Structure 1
Amino acid sequence: MIKLLYDGELIRENGIIKKASSSVTLIQTKNHNIIVDTSTKDKRELIIKELEKLNLSPKDIEITINTHLHYDHIENNSIFKNATFYASPKEFGFNEYFEDFKKFKDKEIEIVETPGHTYGSISVIYKDYIVVGDASPLKNNVIKLIPPRLNVDEKLALKTLKYIRSLKKNVITGHEGIVYKEEII
């Protein structure tokens, strides 16, 4: 089961980001309760309430996967006290708190490298979905093949977007909810 607990938000004024909070996705496999990205502190109560609607609490989450380590994707990691945290060791800020995503094991989940926004960006594939973080922060990034404005390598970001599209899956963006595969030409 996959459930978007929060769509995310990205507000710009005159091209400057004024507010950013990432999407938060729950994935339940046969073996794990997983959260992909934990958003910002101001979304803490919302996340807890959304979990409660599913008869879960933060203590029931065993795995947290951070697509990258920017603050707007990790600020609620601390509420998942029973979780093991996975990220890419290529990420600035990666330390002993995190496990290398390549060590993660669940037959229902595949974690792939999707660099461009950061060198260590990763995405999570589950059934007919891919949770991409800021490889596609907004829907139009993947729909229109527009690299994220914030990137470490624009060509690499575009290559990643093409790869994501080639998978023909529903895309959970970093800050704007879901792009259904039918919307991607």
Structure 2
Amino acid sequence: MLKLLYEGKLVRADSRILEASSSVTLIKTERYCIVVDTSSRDKRDVIIKGLEKLNMSPRDIDIVINTHRHWDHIENNDLFKSAEVINYKNYRSLKDKEIEILETPGHTWDSISVVYGDYIVVGDAAPLKDNIIKEVAPGINVDRELALNTLRRIKSLGKHIITGHDGIYFQETLLNTGRTKKSHSSLS
């Protein structure tokens, strides 16, 4: 099961970021309850209420995966006191046959993405749906060309992409043509 607890938000004026809070994704495998990215401190109640709607609490989360270490993706890690925190440094220690973690550098050198079934949670490898649609590197990056190559690699997987700050970008593979049809709706 995958559930988007919060789809994220990014507000800009000119080239300045005024507000940023990452998406928060719950993944339940046979083995673990996982939260990918924990957003900014002001989204704490949103996360708790999202879990409560699923008859869960922060105590039920076994693992927190941080796609990278920027503040707007990690400020609620402490909410999950009993969870193991997975990031770029230790992601190889996660043993779950339903989860694959990919290195996805460009936004940061240590960015990772989480593949689960037909979904990939990419953090700021694609902060907004427009990054995917227009194939534009994230505005903040350590290497623009590397970020674009990572974005292209993510798109080539044909998965539904959970962006860092803009919900889910759905991709539907057309079986007869081998092409990809893109949809821009969001999962609630």
Return the TM-score normalized by structure 1. 0.93
Aligned to 1:117: 107
Which residue type is aligned with residue 122 of structure 1? I
1:43 aligns with 2:33: no
Aligned to 2:10: 10
Which residue type is aligned with residue 13 of structure 2? E
Aligned to 1:97: none
What secondary structure, in the 3-state scheme, does the structure 1 residue paired with 2:81 have? coil
For residues 39-72 of structure 1, what are the alpha-carbon distances to aligned partners after superposition, in whole Å with 9 as ceiling and x for unaligned? Answer: 0110001100000000100000000000000000
Aligned to 2:175: none
Give 1:14 shift.
1.8
What secondary structure, in the 3-state scheme, does the structure 1 residue paired with 2:4 have? strand
What secondary structure, in the 3-state scheme, does the structure 2 residue paired with 1:39 have? coil
Give 1:137 shift.
0.2
Aligned to 1:75: 75
1:132 aligns with 2:96: no
Aligned to 1:183: 182
Which residue type is aligned with residue 128 of structure 2? L
Counterpart Cα distance in 2 of 1:107 and 1:22: 26
Which residue type is aligned with residue 69 of structure 2? L
Counterpart Cα distance in 2 of 1:143 and 1:127: 22
1:172 aligns with 2:157: no
Counterpart Cα distance in 2 of 1:127 and 1:120: 23
Counterpart Cα distance in 2 of 1:71 and 1:40: 7
- Runs in 1 of length 4+ with deviation above 6 angstroms? none
Aligned to 1:152: 142
Give 1:29 shift.
0.3
Counterpart Cα distance in 1 of 2:85 and 2:170: 28
Unaligned runs of 5+ in 1: 90-99
Counterpart Cα distance in 1 of 2:98 and 2:84: 17
Q: How many residues align?
A: 174
Return the TM-score normalized by structure 2. 0.91
Query: Sequence identity of aligned pairs in percent?
Result: 60
Give 1:23 shift.
0.2
Give 1:21 shift.
0.2
